Structure 1
C-alpha cells in the first residue's frame, strides 16, 4: 500500500480492537498511529486501548528526544523499550542490555563493516578503518559490504562506539545532517542531547525539530535558527532558549568557543511551530512514512525556509 495516510488508517482500523502486546517502528510515525487510535477511542493513553502492551521496538532515529513523549502516550508500569539498528540493506545491531542506551554490533549477520573517521567523511578518497581499529567516543560513517551484493556501500549514518570487544554503538547522526557554517561542527547527537536537556529543565516535551544556520550579514554575526514543534511547550520560551544554548555548549566545545561572549555566534533563534507543522511539511515533500525521517540539521537554510513558509 503506497499511500501512507491510507496505510495508517487501515492499521488503526485493524488493530484498535486487538489486544496488541508489542509494536515496532520509527518513533515519528508510530506517534502518528497512536494519535489516530486516540481519536478513534477518545482517550490519551495507549494502555486504555491495548492494556497488554509491554514492548516497543524502535529504531531509525535517536529515541532520546522522544522518550518523554512516549511516557506520556503510554502510561503505566511494565512498559519496555528496545532499540534496533536495521535498514533495507541489513540488520546491524540491537540493544542487548535493558537499561543501556547503546546497541551490540552484529559481526556475523552477513555484513562486513568499515568505518570512516569524522574528519575523513567528506573527502573523495577517505581513509577507512576495520572494527579492530576504531576507538570509543569518536564518530564514524558506516560502510558495509554484504553477502547480498552490496560493495562498500555508505549507509549515510554516523555511529559512535561505547565499548569494544564486544563492540557496542550509538547512532550519532547522519553524514549529511550537520551544521558547520562557522566551524562549530554540530551533529544530530549534539542537538538531540541539547534539546533533551532543555526540555527536562523546563518541563517541555518535544515533538519534532530541525535547525539550520543564520548566515552573517555584512559586519553582523551568525547563529542557529531552530524550529520546534512541542507536545508540551515550555512555560517560558526565553528560559528554554537559554537552556538549549547552554546544553549545546556543554556537549560541543567548538560551538562553545564560537558562542563565547557572542564572539562569532549569537544566541539561537527559536520558533515554536503549531501542531502538525512538520507533518504538513513532510507531506508536502512527499516524505510521509516509515522510510522517511525529519532531518534534524542542515548546513544551509533550505529546510528552515520551507518550514517557516508554513507557519
Structure 2
C-alpha cells in the first residue's frame, strides 16, 4: 500500500483538490492521511506527529509539499519518501528548506514542466511531471462577454486587488457592461478587507464576492463565465485555468508563471495594470477579438485529456519504482 500525507488546512485548495482526485483515480492503491498542524510553519509537535505517522505506515509515502518542503531538516524514514510539490518557495528560508528536503527525497513530483524547470534551476533537483487532470464540464453558456470571474483563495498571491484596480481603470475609461465574480475562501483577513475596500470604489452592482464555494456552486460560476481573470504572482500550474478551458472559457493569466502552461486560450500578460486594462477593454469592445479567443477555447476544450487516471498512474509508477530500490 502507498500513502499520501497532506495538511488539514480547514479549507479547499488547489493542491488538496489535486490530491483528492489522484487518490480517487488510484483505485485503492493510495491511502490518504490528513495531518493537523501549522503547516507550512510547523511546530516541534507537528513534526513529531508527522514522524510518528510515517513510522506507522507500511509502504512508500507521498508528502504533500506544504508539509514535506516546510521541514527545518529533512524527515528520516525507513520507507521511501516522494515529495509532491504544489507550490514553489517564495522566501529565502522557505527556499532553503525546500532545497534540503527535495534533495533528500527518494523522488520528486511536480504538477507542471514550468515547476520542473524551476526546481532544476534552483536546486539541481530533477522532478517528474504529473500534470493535473480535469473533469469534463458542459460548455459554458456565458453571456455577451462581460461575465468575468476570478477564482482562487483571497490572499496576496492570487492578486485579486490587482484585478479590482484594473476594473477601476476600466470604469474610469467609461467601459461598462461587465460584472466580475470573485469566488474563493477568505484566507487572509487583512487582504480580504483591502479587496473589499477596493471593490467598494467600483460602480454599484459590478462585482460579487461569493466566499468559498462547493463543487456544485463553482460549476455554476464556470457555466456563466465569459472570461477568467487570473493574475497570480506565482503559480506552478493553475488548475482553475484548465477547468475553465474544460468549459470552453478563455483566460487572462500572468506571464512567466505555471498558469501560462495551463492556458488553452486567452492572453498571458505581465502584471501591468494598464496592459490588463487594455486587454480587457479589447475583450469587451472588440467582438472579432473576443470571438477569436472563444473559438480557440472551444477547440482547446476538445483537445483536453479528461480524467485523472494518467496523473495517478504517473505517481503510482514513481512510488513503485522507489519501493524497489
TM-score normalised to structure 1 length: 0.27
Higher relative contact order (CA 8 A, sep 6+): 2
Q: Which structure has greater strand proportion? A: 1
Q: Which structure has greater helix proportion? A: 2
TM-score normalised to structure 2 length: 0.26
